[in-house]
């Protein structure tokens, strides 16, 4: 668990730095995908899922 949390933090910082720079290159996209995989295995994954479901429902309600 400690390894996945540190992986999430590491890849989160790297992704943030990539977005602060000029563009997202193919290698940057690979790092973003790795960040997603580590994040999905972390303890905060259910909270992120609930938040994204809530936003999707909100946007779905606005679009109709």
The pLDDT of residue 22 is: 66
Q: What is the pLDDT of residues 10-60, one digit of tens each?
A: 777 877 887 778 677 778 778 878 878 877 888 888 887 888 788 878 878
The pLDDT of residue 5 is: 61
Per the document, the length of the chain is 64
Residue 43 phi, psi (nearest 5): -75, -20
The pLDDT of residue 35 is: 79
Which of 6, 34, 31 lies closest to 17 in space, CA to CA? 31
pTM > 0.75: yes or no:
no
What domain range includes position 30?
Answer: 2-63
CA distance 17 to 9: 12
């Amino acid at each position: 668990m400690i390894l996945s949390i540190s992986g999430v933090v590491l890849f989160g910082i790297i992704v943030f730095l990539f977005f602060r720079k000029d563009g997202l290159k193919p290698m940057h996209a690979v790092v973003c995908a790795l960040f997603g995989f580590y994040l999905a295995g972390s303890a905060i994954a259910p909270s992120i899922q609930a938040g994204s479901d809530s936003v999707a429902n909100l946007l779905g309600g606005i679009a109709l």
